[in-house]
Chains A and B, each alone.
Chain A
Amino acid sequence: MSAPGAGGEFVRVVAEVFEVDPTEVVDGAGPDTLAAWTSLRHLQLMVTLEEAYGLSFSYREIRDLRSIGQVRDVMRAKGAKV
């Protein structure tokens, strides 16, 4: 289903939180395009990624991240291979 490798794992985790098909997890996807991306799910996404990748988001990051691409960029800046 998902591509092998680190990026595939990221897509799998995100798809699991939103209960969507991994093909819907594209960089442009955000609260406006994914119906499941509610504020509560957003937090669940943050804590799930924190647990899966052993990193931590700041309050501002949690507040401001509005798309898969942005989440990816911030995680890459923290050293995660996503």
Chain B
Amino acid sequence: MDDGNVLERIRRVRAAGAAPDPDLRDALGRVTGNAELAAAGRLLEGVPPGLITPPDRPLRPMRVGVTGTFTAESVVPMLRVLLLRGGIAPHFQLAGFDQLMVQLADPGSVLARFDPDLTLCLLHDGAVLPQSWDPAAPQALRQVLADRLGALRGALAGFTARIPGTVLLHTVPLSPAEHRAVIAHRSKAALGRVWREFNLGLLELPELLPSVQVLDLEALLVDHPGPVRDDRLYRFASMAWTPAVERHYAQEATTVARAVAGLGRKVLVLDLDNTLWGGVLGDDGPDGLEIGGGYPGNCYTELQRVALTLRQQGVLLALCSKNDPAAVEEVFARHPDLVLRPDDVVARAVNWGRKDHNLRELSRTLDLRLDSFVFADDSRFECALIRRELPDVEVLHLAGDPAGHVATLLARGHFDVLAVGDTDRERTQLYRARARRADVAASFESAADYLRDLDLRVTIRPADSATLLRVVQLERRTNQFNLAGGTRPEARTRAMAASANHLVLAFTVADRFGDEGVVGGVWVALAADGWEMENFVMSCRVFGRGIEHAVLSAVVNQAGRAGAPRLSARWRPSGRNDPVREFLDSAGFTRTEDPDGGVRYDLPLPAPASLLPDWITLEDPTAPEDEGVPAHA
């Protein structure tokens, strides 16, 4: 996105008497580069937090002390941005270069007087290792490190006795240069052991000093790209971390700060199709779902396993999916490869309604604020809708290869807390009992404002060599929005497309994010006494945007122009295709029940009112008003 724009906006709110920019806090999430992040943080210093967030989403003030064994100043601007973005308005006190021991030990130190809610202690190997040591005698080094650890522990004991806030330390990665300077492999191993003992001692500190937390930075940096230290910066200014590592640390420290402030997220709301399992239940059926076995099913198994692990630590799991609730129930009850069981889920919003409304309902049902929610979905559309309508909710777009979904879910520590206890483990049962109801009902009110912003364009044209096969496939695969409930051979569709008495239409959808391609088709028999839709099929990926209305309006208009006295359709129940019946029930047709359980729909033409939603631009090359669009050959 446009980083320059975010910096420009920060510059504007910095000016004296500037107007508030309440969306700026969320826009900070779009700053990508390390240098931009640092620049944004420097610019934000002194900006009143109230100017960058809406009045109903105030930031939590926090006093953050920063001290280190190296020059750590440049971590502060990055932290400022990430904390603001994370809902915390930090007030920083920085204690200069190599001040760590003094600041902790001296009751009158700058930091001690500042009384931080959170004190960040940044350590580097150069301050731990002695200037020189004998690689042949690792015992001597062990003693030096144990002494340093003891001194640190003593200083921390004093500091935490005086200051009630949390102190954050971290394990220290050892520079590979130190490792390589030792040539005997036996000695390299000894050095590694001695170094790990020091880190182990750090990791034990929270057991001795309850207000101390330790980030396992050495472990977290395992998949960090690039070196920890830039020797130029280190030798020139005692900066022990590259900007990328500073940022990595700032991100991890932000999750700790959020946990300290009680801002850790508590609810994970999961979509189902192509999120919790591969495939679309309504179209592929329970047996066609990808879960378990080899790739890609094992990716979804892993995601479920991770969700279960979160559940066991007190995170509440909820479902939000556009699906048939009975079919979902069936999968959860019977599918052998599902890891999650119905009892693992605290509430479900499985319906065809708007997801933002479903999340609001889940929030009411569970009596938990939306700022404790994380929403994970594969659909760009749903993710953008939630981001826009419910900015408090953290949205995770599970896009691309499912092998990466778990990493996306866990990367930013949204659910991190300081400690997990027995009540956390029982939280799901507790909330299930407390929830007003486990199933959330649909709301069908359209998201018109959001849809208007999407710039939706529906193009409908006779199926041609490029689209015919796709339409045949869609008719075969689609169950929910399929009038006939059955399918015809490809040859039949080809014959209809070539025949003067029939029409096979394909429609595509595009919006400002991109092109969805062909998402459905209409099969029409043309007769003098009227047009009959033999089938109308649409992928359930695009439900809820008014696209079916736009397509029907195009067919109605075409039939009207051709002089047909009416448009009709017959719905045949398949057990899965209620959504298309519900759509026709609401579209102004007269309805006649068939003896066999089906329904016949008739609409006299010309139709009294246009069905085209005002947020959709319909491109129909056969329509006379679309003169700029080339006619279909």
Which of B35-43, B549-557, B594-602 is found at the contact surface with chain A? Answer: B35-43
- In the complex, the answer to whether A19 meets B232 with C-beta atoms within 8 Å is no
Nearest CB in chain A to that of B239: its residue: A43
Chain A residues whose C-beta falls within 8 Å of the C-beta of B235 in the assembled complex: 59
Give Cα distance in the complex from A19 to B46, angstroms: 13
CB-contacts of B229-275 with A (<8 A): 230-233, 235-237, 239, 242-243
Which of A25-33, A46-54, A74-82 is found at the contact surface with chain B? Answer: A46-54
CB < 8 Å A-B pair total:
46
Chain B residues whose C-beta falls within 8 Å of the C-beta of A43 in the assembled complex: 74, 233, 236-237, 239
Q: A43-B236, A47-B243, A57-B232 are in contact. Are A19 and B42 (CB under 8 A)?
A: yes
Chain B residues whose C-beta falls within 8 Å of the C-beta of A57 in the assembled complex: 232
Nearest CB in chain A to that of B77: its residue: A44
Give Cα distance in the complex from A39 to B231, angstroms: 16
Minimum CB–CB distance from B177 to chain A (whole Å) comes to 15
Q: A43-B233, A43-B236 are in contact. Are A51 and B35 (CB under 8 A)?
A: yes
Contact of B35 among A19, A39, A48, A62 (CB under 8 A): A48
Instruction: Identify the interface centre among B33, B230, B232, B243: most chain A CB within 10 Å of its CB.
Output: B232
- In the complex, the answer to whether B232 meets A16 with C-beta atoms within 8 Å is no
Q: A57-B232, A59-B232 are in contact. Are A40 and B237 (CB under 8 A)?
A: yes
Give Cα distance in the complex from A52 to B34, angstroms: 10
Minimum CB–CB distance from B5 to chain A (whole Å) comes to 13
Give Cα distance in the complex from A11 to B508, angstroms: 46
- In the complex, the answer to whether B233 meets A47 with C-beta atoms within 8 Å is yes
- In the complex, the answer to whether A48 meets B39 with C-beta atoms within 8 Å is yes
Chain A residues whose C-beta falls within 8 Å of the C-beta of B243 in the assembled complex: 47, 51
Give Cα distance in the complex from A52 to B74, angstroms: 17
Chain A residues whose C-beta falls within 8 Å of the C-beta of B53 in the assembled complex: none
- In the complex, the answer to whether B35 meets A47 with C-beta atoms within 8 Å is yes
Nearest CB in chain A to that of B34: its residue: A51
- In the complex, the answer to whether A44 meets B71 with C-beta atoms within 8 Å is no
- In the complex, the answer to whether B35 meets A59 with C-beta atoms within 8 Å is no
Chain A residues whose C-beta falls within 8 Å of the C-beta of B38 in the assembled complex: 44, 48
Nearest CB in chain B to that of A52: its residue: B35
- In the complex, the answer to whether B33 meets A51 with C-beta atoms within 8 Å is yes
Q: A48-B35, A51-B33, A52-B35 are in contact. Are A63 and B236 (CB under 8 A)?
A: yes
The A interface is mostly helix, strand or loop, or mixed, namely helix
Give Cα distance in the complex from A43 to B71, angstroms: 12
Give Cα distance in the complex from A44 to B236, angstroms: 12
Minimum CB–CB distance from A11 to chain B (whole Å) comes to 13
B31 interface contact, C-beta 8 A: no
CB-contacts of B1-39 with A (<8 A): 4, 7, 33-35, 38-39
Give Cα distance in the complex from A19 to B44, angstroms: 11
B73 interface contact, C-beta 8 A: yes
Give Cα distance in the complex from A51 to B38, angstroms: 12
Give Cα distance in the complex from A11 to B243, angstroms: 21
Nearest CB in chain A to that of B242: its residue: A47
The bracket for how many chain B residues form the interface is 20 to 34
Give Cα distance in the complex from A59 to B235, angstroms: 9
- In the complex, the answer to whether B7 meets A16 with C-beta atoms within 8 Å is yes
Minimum CB–CB distance from A8 to chain B (whole Å) comes to 12
Give Cα distance in the complex from A17 to B33, angstroms: 14
Nearest CB in chain A to that of B97: its residue: A40
Minimum CB–CB distance from B8 to chain A (whole Å) comes to 9
Chain A residues whose C-beta falls within 8 Å of the C-beta of B230 in the assembled complex: 47
- In the complex, the answer to whether B39 meets A59 with C-beta atoms within 8 Å is no
Minimum CB–CB distance from B9 to chain A (whole Å) comes to 14
Minimum CB–CB distance from A44 to chain B (whole Å) comes to 6
- In the complex, the answer to whether B233 meets A19 with C-beta atoms within 8 Å is no
A23 interface contact, C-beta 8 A: no
Nearest CB in chain A to that of B235: its residue: A59
Chain A residues whose C-beta falls within 8 Å of the C-beta of B33 in the assembled complex: 51-52
- In the complex, the answer to whether B74 meets A44 with C-beta atoms within 8 Å is yes
Chain A residues whose C-beta falls within 8 Å of the C-beta of B236 in the assembled complex: 43, 59, 62-63
Give Cα distance in the complex from A63 to B233, angstroms: 10
- In the complex, the answer to whether B232 meets A17 with C-beta atoms within 8 Å is no
Nearest CB in chain B to that of A60: its residue: B232
Minimum CB–CB distance from B234 to chain A (whole Å) comes to 10
Give Cα distance in the complex from A8 to B39, angstroms: 17
Instruction: Identify the interface centre among A39, A44, A59: most chain B CB within 10 Å of its CB.
Output: A44
Chain A residues whose C-beta falls within 8 Å of the C-beta of B34 in the assembled complex: 47, 51
Chain B residues whose C-beta falls within 8 Å of the C-beta of A52 in the assembled complex: 33, 35
Give Cα distance in the complex from A57 to B42, angstroms: 23
Instruction: Identify the interface centre among B35, B74, B231: most chain A CB within 10 Å of its CB.
Output: B35
Chain B residues whose C-beta falls within 8 Å of the C-beta of A48 in the assembled complex: 35, 38-39
Chain B residues whose C-beta falls within 8 Å of the C-beta of A16 in the assembled complex: 7, 39, 43
Chain A residues whose C-beta falls within 8 Å of the C-beta of B35 in the assembled complex: 13, 17, 44, 47-48, 51-52
Minimum CB–CB distance from A71 to chain B (whole Å) comes to 15
Q: B53-82 CB contact bits vs A (8 Å, 1 = yes)?
A: 000000000000000000101100000000
Give Cα distance in the complex from A20 to B566, angstroms: 71
Minimum CB–CB distance from A9 to chain B (whole Å) comes to 10
Give Cα distance in the complex from A15 to B38, angstroms: 13
Minimum CB–CB distance from A36 to chain B (whole Å) comes to 10
- In the complex, the answer to whether A39 meets B232 with C-beta atoms within 8 Å is no
Give Cα distance in the complex from A73 to B377, angstroms: 50
Chain B residues whose C-beta falls within 8 Å of the C-beta of A63 in the assembled complex: 236
CB-contacts of B451-502 with A (<8 A): none
Minimum CB–CB distance from A51 to chain B (whole Å) comes to 5
Chain B residues whose C-beta falls within 8 Å of the C-beta of A51 in the assembled complex: 33-35, 243
Minimum CB–CB distance from A38 to chain B (whole Å) comes to 10
- In the complex, the answer to whether A58 meets B43 with C-beta atoms within 8 Å is no
Contact of B43 among A12, A19, A40, A44 (CB under 8 A): A19
Q: Which 3 pairs from chain A and chain B are nearest by CB? A: A48-B35, A16-B39, A59-B232
12 new A-B contacts, CB < 8 A, other than A17-B35, A51-B33, are A12-B4, A13-B35, A40-B74, A43-B237, A47-B243, A51-B35, A51-B243, A57-B232, A59-B231, A59-B236, A62-B232, A62-B236
B residues in contact (CB < 8 Å) with A: 4, 7, 33-35, 38-39, 42-43, 71, 73-74, 230-233, 235-237, 239, 242-243
5 contacting pairs across A/B (C-beta < 8 A): A12-B4, A13-B35, A51-B34, A51-B35, A59-B231
